[in-house]
Chains A and B, each alone.
Chain A
Amino acid sequence: MSELLELQRRVAAAIMHPLTGNETMPRKRRDGLSNTAEADALIKPNDRLSSFERLEIYNRQYWFRLYSSFEEDFSGLKAILGQKKFDRLMRDYLTERPSQSFSLRNLGSQLEAWLTEHPEYLDAENREQQRDLAMDMVRLEWAHIEAFDSAQLPLLDPDDLASIDENSQLRLQPYLRLVELRYPVEDLLIELRSESGSSDASSNNASISRKSRHVRRVAMLRPEQIYLAVHRHENSVYYKRLGREDYTLLQSLLAGAPIGTAIDAALADSAIAEDDQGEFLQRAFASWAALGWFIQ
């Protein structure tokens, strides 16, 4: 290993090591290595700061940047949990599932899986309700990120439609995400975001209070099955509610099922009368094609 590479790795290890609960650089790392000794070996002191203090600036800045990104990505979850619980969740999640990507965009990629293993982070007075609400929000916020910057591929050529039969597989835009929810968190998220962006949110306390009211109101709603397509249109993300049949159909197509199989799955146990099924399919596929969801 070259001397430069070794230096880069040691600095990276120091910078990416989790902070203490007080958001300072720990004197000793979890593996027992002394950060003081490591800082002395890597960085010269100056007339104002010791080697440890100089290294600590970068260590803290790295984590503050992660926190800032994560908080921005999951502002809906923060509104549901409150700042204190959200902070605890964020720190523990990012410590257990540290960033593995060059892009901060991927910070929350494992959050849903991690919260499934650690549901205690979502606990509140109405435990079940809050957990469901919070998990819905996590799913939606991650789907939003995926929908916003996933690729947009060339559309299916109308000339290719003639060759489609029941065994054909249709491909859908990578930015299309399907989410099943129990609470209307998409409405809540839109409210929260417009709240944050509104000019009358000058008083922080008033804004927090309004957000809490929004969250409480949604949490008190009776759970319902909501099927949502999170997609992109002209560089903006949209939330489009779907019927159960639409959702099942799209889900099957996304999973790679041939169109005939997907139609079977969608219409099994459907409340749509047999005579109306053709019209339903025609309307659904027309809408999705008009949105540019089918690709080559």
Chain B
Amino acid sequence: MKHSMKTLMVAAAVSGMLSGAATMQAATSQTTTNPVVKVGKASFGSSSLNQDTTKHSCKGKNDCKGQGGCKSSDNGCKGKNSCKGKGGCATDGSKHPSA
């Protein structure tokens, strides 16, 4: 790509970043006053997260299970009750049912 062309392309990218940053700032201030619309629509206008083929991966989930994030701090949701039915916590020496 020619130097002059590349300069134009970089300028286009930077102008996009400026408008994106402005969109984000507007979304953030809107979020403060109206938390109901903080995701997607009001925050990002017509190019909302949903319309932008973005998919919410934790649909239907209300907890951190399976999302991985809770583990970095204190292993919060890991392995709780993991011994349930497996005998691992038993103090009577009983074995795992499959053993």
Contact = CB atoms under 8 A, between A and B. Distances in A.
Interface of A: 22-24, 48-49, 53, 57, 60-61, 64-65, 67-69, 72-73, 75, 103-105, 144-146, 148-149, 155-156, 158, 161, 164-166, 186-187, 189-190, 193-194, 196-198, 230, 233-241, 259-260, 263-264, 267, 277-279, 281-292, 294
Nearest to B58: A236
The 5 tightest CB contacts between A and B, nearest first, are A289-B20, A285-B16, A105-B71, A145-B68, A148-B69
Contacts of B6: 166, 260, 263-264
B15 A240 contact: no
B67 interface: yes
20 contacts: A61-B89, A64-B86, A65-B78, A68-B82, A75-B66, A105-B72, A144-B57, A145-B69, A158-B17, A197-B59, A197-B61, A198-B60, A230-B57, A238-B54, A240-B53, A263-B6, A267-B1, A278-B12, A285-B12, A290-B44
A197 B95 CA distance: 30
Interface in B47-99: 47, 49, 52-62, 65-69, 71-72, 75, 78-79, 82-83, 86-93, 95-96, 98-99
A149 B71 contact: yes
A49 B91 contact: yes
Given A149-B68, A190-B57, A240-B52, A290 B98 contact: no
Given A105-B71, A189-B57, A237-B58, A64 B88 contact: yes
Interface in B1-49: 1, 6-10, 12-24, 27, 38-39, 44, 47, 49
B14 A237 contact: no
Contacts of B24: 155, 289-292
Nearest to A87: B98
Contacts of A283: 16
A290 B27 contact: yes
Nearest to A68: B82
Given A259-B10, A278-B12, A287 B52 contact: yes
A5 B92 CA distance: 29
A60 B92 CA distance: 14
Contacts of B79: 64-65, 68-69, 104
A294 B24 CA distance: 12
A166 B67 CA distance: 38
B10 A166 contact: yes
A241 B55 CA distance: 9
A171 to B, nearest CB: 13
A260 B66 CA distance: 39
A263 B21 CA distance: 20
A240 B54 CA distance: 4
